[in-house]
Structure 1
Amino acid sequence: MTKIGFLSFGHHGEVPGSRTPTAADALRQTVELARAAEDIGIDGAFVRVHHFERQLAAPFPLLAAIAATTSRIEMGTGVIDMRYENPLYMAEEAAATDLLSGGRLQLGVSRGSPEIALNGAEAFGYRPADGQTHADAARAKAEVFLAAIRGAGVAPADPSRTRGRHVALPVQPQSPGLGDRIWWGAGTRATAEWAAAQGMNLQSSTLLTEDTGESFDRLQAEQILRYREAWAAAGHERTPLVSVSRSVIPVTTDLDRRYFGERGEDDQVGFLDGARSRFGRSYVGDPDRIADELAEDAAVREADYVLFTVPNQLGVEYNAHLLRSIAERVAPAIGWAPAGHQVAAAVPSS
């Protein structure tokens, strides 16, 4: 059965109409929205992570707060930029958060998206090694992080404190099962294949940093297919999971119409970081029409988890209204039902 969640960028600032003028507002309202989403029956509360911008930046205190004030909903990221991270300290934070949540953490990591800072990770003290690109550095850190949360010894013990035994110590705490709930945010088909080889789930957003001329949903569906083929070739024992993100605004009230109009936008193609990239369309308008269109979306049909972006600066009440509209009028068409309910007719895979 398909799961659904919301994805918040956590924007904040003194702009006209904003309900999140400060970082404190954005953080507290994200926790409140997670509680509201849980009441609606939604499966996940996910946040974007961006540095040097008026958005969410330090995810673990926020995810722990969501964990402490909810009982069922999963919480996660989409994505943490590994260039900025100490992978062993991050493994400790992730395990502690997962233990507090009772095993509900779904952690998306990646090389990160284009950013406002010039070599921002270097300001944090992290510079790629000689011959490494920033993408290489992010992947190397991800491999260390994965090994750490899976219990590998990562630091030599002092033999004088271990009765002469030369052993490698794992980080603590450990949270069993967390290693199966790490997702790699892949922007290309090739990086999706790399994620499969590492045993990570696939997280694919509304942007692919490549373009073949195919529609976004078909290109993304090809990415998912290649990911699953690479997973099978790697011989992993468990079944992998795939998530995609979509921008969806069901228009059911005059306020919706004033904010967003009646129609969304088609795919867009442009250059990002020097690469020809394809941006996915936005779905705006009548919820029944959106439901029909999403049911035909080639990548949505292949996904295990669909994340819906929310305009967080419009406040908790408005975003809860949007999520309720999605849950009641749109998500059933893609094979979703609230926790504890049976799906009447799930959408078949293409």
Structure 2
Amino acid sequence: MKSFGFLSFGHYETEGALDAGQMLHDAVEIANGADELGVNGAYFRVHHFAAQSASPMPLLSAIAARTERIEVGTGVIDMRYENPLYLAEEAAALDLLSDHRLALGISRGSPEPALRGWESFGYEDLSEPKAATMAREKFDRFLRAVRGERLAPADPAQFGPGARLRVEPHSPGLERRIWWGAGSGATAEWAAQQGVNLMSSTLLTEATGASFGDLQAEQIERYRAAWREAGHDWTPRVSVSRSIFPITTDLDDLYFGRRGRGQGDQIGIIDDTRSTFGKTYAGEPDRLVEELRADAAIAAADTLMLTIPSQLGVDYNLHILESFAEHVAPSLGWNPNTHGPVKGYAI
């Protein structure tokens, strides 16, 4: 494992009356503390019409302004809801402001509370109920814009006949920090063909009886094989996410000890498809190291995202990240952004 970050779903309106404003302020503070700990990335889920994180650019901009090293990004933006060229403009501007620390995870998106919510945003796909084709077509246009392709015909009165314009601003190198969130092996192969990084989903739309880690490792291998076949001239990144809670205090044990011990992967139905969900890892650090080393997908990936319970507040979430950074990550080969002092966050 070369790097790890946190993945926040940004839940609010939970017990304790956490509202959207407090969630956003907490997210900035968690990211700032994580940056001081040397955590490599701060990533946020995007869910529309729900009491969760949405519209990530203002939040990521605020985090980038407060931090120095940490990568800021998403996991994932639902492309069905997006204007691809406007998203490309926003992404390039944020990447330039953050000194090239942006890493955007994009995908078709997960099921939303709204019925075909993208239609309320003004986008329609009459060809299929899940609008997957529309998402991929928009993603193609977004990528072309990020790569600097001149997509718009210029006014001939100003530029002469045949001239074309690209989206501005343009941020060189951003194209290599775009990820596609994939929930199956076939989708991972498609991502490789597009020349983007792989963000393996928190669930897989496959249920063969194999463990989640083994299914994900197979997906990663299919992605890398497709990448080699496509002949791209650079090495992509691969991320996986896990719920991991080192038990170092009585409060950790109260929150997660009983929940994590003895539980395995889960099988469920999502989008009418039988799917596999990864288990929660919770235990003493030495035991966690042993279990995580045996997870084939963690071994195969270069980036690990820890899903955090953001609604439990700034100090407790930084305690989780600090415990992982101090007691678990070094044994997985973690390469921190900095070797600053351990903060010792109170809980």
Q: In the alignment, what sits opposite 1:123?
A: 120
Question: Once the 2 structures are TM-superposed, how far is the Cα of residue 263 of structure 1 from its aligned partner?
Answer: 4.9
Q: Is the 8 A contact 2:285 2:327 kept in 1?
A: yes
Question: Once the 2 structures are TM-superposed, how far is the Cα of residue 28 of structure 1 from its aligned partner?
Answer: 0.9
Equivalent residues in 2 for 1:289-304, closer than 5 Å? 289-304=287-302
2:38 paired with 1:37 = no
2:45 paired with 1:75 = no
2:199 paired with 1:203 = yes
Question: Once the 2 structures are TM-superposed, how far is the Cα of residue 245 of structure 1 from its aligned partner?
Answer: 0.1
Q: In the alignment, what sits opposite 1:168?
A: 164
Q: In the alignment, what sits opposite 2:59?
A: 62
Cα distance in 1 for residues equivalent to 2:242 and 2:302 = 13
Q: In the alignment, what sits opposite 1:339?
A: 337
Question: Once the 2 structures are TM-superposed, how far is the Cα of residue 247 of structure 1 from its aligned partner?
Answer: 0.3
Give 3-state SS (helix, strand or coil) of 1:292's partner. helix
- Distance change (3 Å), C-alpha of 1:44 and 1:66: same
Q: In the alignment, what sits opposite 2:3?
A: 3
Cα distance in 2 for residues equivalent to 1:39 and 1:201 = 26
Question: Once the 2 structures are TM-superposed, how far is the Cα of residue 206 of structure 1 from its aligned partner?
Answer: 2.4
Give 3-state SS (helix, strand or coil) of 1:79's partner. strand
- Distance change (3 Å), C-alpha of 1:132 and 1:116: closer
Question: Once the 2 structures are TM-superposed, how far is the Cα of residue 130 of structure 1 from its aligned partner?
Answer: 4.2
Q: In the alignment, what sits opposite 1:137?
A: 134
Amino acid corresponding to residue 313 of structure 2 in structure 1:
G
Q: In the alignment, what sits opposite 2:173?
A: 177
Q: In the alignment, what sits opposite 2:344?
A: none
Cα distance in 2 for residues equivalent to 1:130 and 1:253 = 53
Question: Once the 2 structures are TM-superposed, how far is the Cα of residue 17 of structure 1 from its aligned partner?
Answer: 3.9
Amino acid corresponding to residue 15 of structure 2 in structure 1:
P
Cα distance in 1 for residues equivalent to 2:126 and 2:287 = 50
Question: Once the 2 structures are TM-superposed, how far is the Cα of residue 80 of structure 1 from its aligned partner?
Answer: 0.1
Cα distance in 2 for residues equivalent to 1:340 and 1:17 = 34
Q: In the alignment, what sits opposite 2:279?
A: 281
Q: Is the 8 A contact 2:61 2:94 kept in 1?
A: yes
Cα distance in 2 for residues equivalent to 1:133 and 1:219 = 24
Cα distance in 2 for residues equivalent to 1:50 and 1:274 = 19
Q: In the alignment, what sits opposite 1:187?
A: 183
Q: In the alignment, what sits opposite 1:307?
A: 305
The answer for unaligned runs of 5 or more in structure 2 is: 340-347
Amino acid corresponding to residue 283 of structure 1 in structure 2:
Y
Cα distance in 1 for residues equivalent to 2:195 and 2:278 = 26
Q: In the alignment, what sits opposite 1:16?
A: 15
Question: Once the 2 structures are TM-superposed, how far is the Cα of residue 84 of structure 1 from its aligned partner?
Answer: 0.1
Q: Is the 8 A contact 1:49 1:55 kept in 2?
A: yes
Q: Is the 8 A contact 2:38 2:338 kept in 1?
A: no
Cα distance in 1 for residues equivalent to 2:299 and 2:84 = 34
1:103-144 CA distance string (max 9 Å, x none): 000100000011111000000000115468511111111100
Q: In the alignment, what sits opposite 1:245?
A: 241
Q: In the alignment, what sits opposite 2:97?
A: 100
Q: 2:268 pairs with 270, 279, 288, which one? A: 270
Q: Is the 8 A contact 1:184 1:202 kept in 2?
A: yes
Give 3-state SS (helix, strand or coil) of 1:11's partner. coil
- Distance change (3 Å), C-alpha of 1:253 and 1:340: closer
Cα distance in 2 for residues equivalent to 1:327 and 1:68 = 24
1:226-260 CA distance string (max 9 Å, x none): 00000011110001110000000111111112222
Give 3-state SS (helix, strand or coil) of 2:296's partner. coil
The answer for unaligned runs of 5 or more in structure 1 is: 342-350
Q: In the alignment, what sits opposite 1:217?
A: 213
Question: Once the 2 structures are TM-superposed, how far is the Cα of residue 339 of structure 1 from its aligned partner?
Answer: 2.6
- Give the count of matched residue pairs: 337
RMSD: 1.3
TM-score in terms of structure 2 length: 0.95
1:130-165 CA distance string (max 9 Å, x none): 468511111111100000010001110010011x23
2:89 paired with 1:89 = no
TM-score in terms of structure 1 length: 0.94
Q: Is the 8 A contact 1:292 1:333 kept in 2?
A: no
Cα distance in 2 for residues equivalent to 1:312 and 1:232 = 38
Q: In the alignment, what sits opposite 1:347?
A: none
Question: Once the 2 structures are TM-superposed, how far is the Cα of residue 198 of structure 1 from its aligned partner?
Answer: 0.2
